[in-house]
Chain A
Amino acid sequence: MSSKFCLTAVASLMAASASAAASGPTDPQIAHIAYTAGNIDIEAAKLALEKSKTKAVRDFASEMVRDHEAVNDKALALVKKLHVTPEQNTTSIELIKQAAATKAKLAKLHGQAFDRAYAVNEVAYHKTVNGALKTTLIPSASNGELKSLLETGLTLFSEHQKHAEHLSASFK
C-alpha cells in the first residue's frame, strides 16, 4: 500500500512538472517551486524528528532540515535582491497537495513502519525533485544567479537522494 501511494504521488508530480515544461515556467514560478519543494522536505524531516527514535533516521532528518533551510534562506535573499516575487503555480500547488497527503499518511505510522515509509518517500521525493530540476527548472531559469543556485541545489539533492537510498536499504 505504501509503495502504491508513493507511485501515485510521483506520477502526479511528474505530470505537474511536465505541464510546467510545456509552457516554460518563469523565474518567479521557478523560485516558488524550488522554495516549496525545499519546505516540504523540511516539514517531512521535522515530522521524522518528532516521531522517530532511530539514530540513522534522526541524523538524516537533521541534515535535511539544515541543508534545505540553507538553500531556502539563500533563495529568499536572492529573490529579494532581484526584486522577484515568487509566484504560485500549478506545479507548486500540486507539490503542496501531495505533500499534505504524504504527511497525513506518515503521521499515522509508528516505529519501524514510520522509519521505512519515511525513507522510501524521501528517495522517491528527491528523485522527483531532481528530475524536475534537471529537465524543467534549470533549463527554464533565465537569471544566472537563480540558475546557479538551482544547480547547487541539484548537486545537494542528488547527495540527499543517495543518502536516502542507503537509509532505505538499511531497513531491508
Chain B
Amino acid sequence: MFLPMSAPSAAASRTYVVVIDKMKFGTVPPSLKAGDAVVWENRDMFRHTATATDGSFDVDLPAGKKGKTVLARTGTFAFSCKYHPGMRGVLRVSK
C-alpha cells in the first residue's frame, strides 16, 4: 500500500490501544518499542488525562474520546490521570 521511506532495517512501528474505563487504565502493552504509538481510548463517563510524570506526554481525554502518544524515546514512563491521581500505570519502551 505504501513504500517505506525509512531505513530498511527499521522494524514497522505498531499502534496499541489502552482502554480507560470505570476509573482505571486497562492493560498496558508489555513489549513497546521506540516508534510505537499508544492510543488512549476513554470509554469512561468521566474526563481523564494520560499524563507522564516526567512531562514527556500529557493527553487530555474527554469522556468517550481518544488520544494518541507516539513513543519517540526508550525508557520507563510512569503516567497518571491529572484529575484522579490514583489512576496510574507505567509504559516500558525498549529499542
A residues contacting B by CB (< 8 A) are: 63, 66-67, 70-71, 73-74, 148, 151-152, 155-156, 158-159, 162-163
Contacts and interface: CB of A to CB of B under 8 A. Distances in A.
Given A63-B83, A70-B63, A159 B23 contact: yes
Contacts of A73: 45
18 contacts: A63-B83, A66-B47, A67-B47, A70-B45, A70-B46, A70-B63, A148-B22, A151-B22, A152-B22, A155-B23, A155-B24, A155-B86, A159-B83, A159-B84, A159-B85, A159-B86, A162-B86, A163-B83
Contacts of A71: 45
Contacts of B83: 63, 67, 159, 163
Interface residues on B, range: 10 to 19
B85 A162 contact: yes
Contacts of A163: 83, 85
Contact of A156 (B23, B63, B85): B23
Contacts of B45: 70-71, 73-74
A156 B86 CA distance: 9
A66 B63 CA distance: 10
B38 to A, nearest CB: 23
Nearest to A77: B45
Main secondary structure of the interface of A (DSSP, over half): helix
A74 B23 CA distance: 14
Interface in B22-54: 22-24, 45-47
Interface in B50-90: 63, 83-87
A159 B44 CA distance: 15
Contacts of B47: 66-67
Closest 9 CB pairs of A and B: A159-B84, A155-B23, A70-B45, A152-B22, A159-B86, A74-B45, A70-B46, A67-B46, A63-B83
B65 to A, nearest CB: 13
B63 to A, nearest CB: 6
A67 B81 CA distance: 14
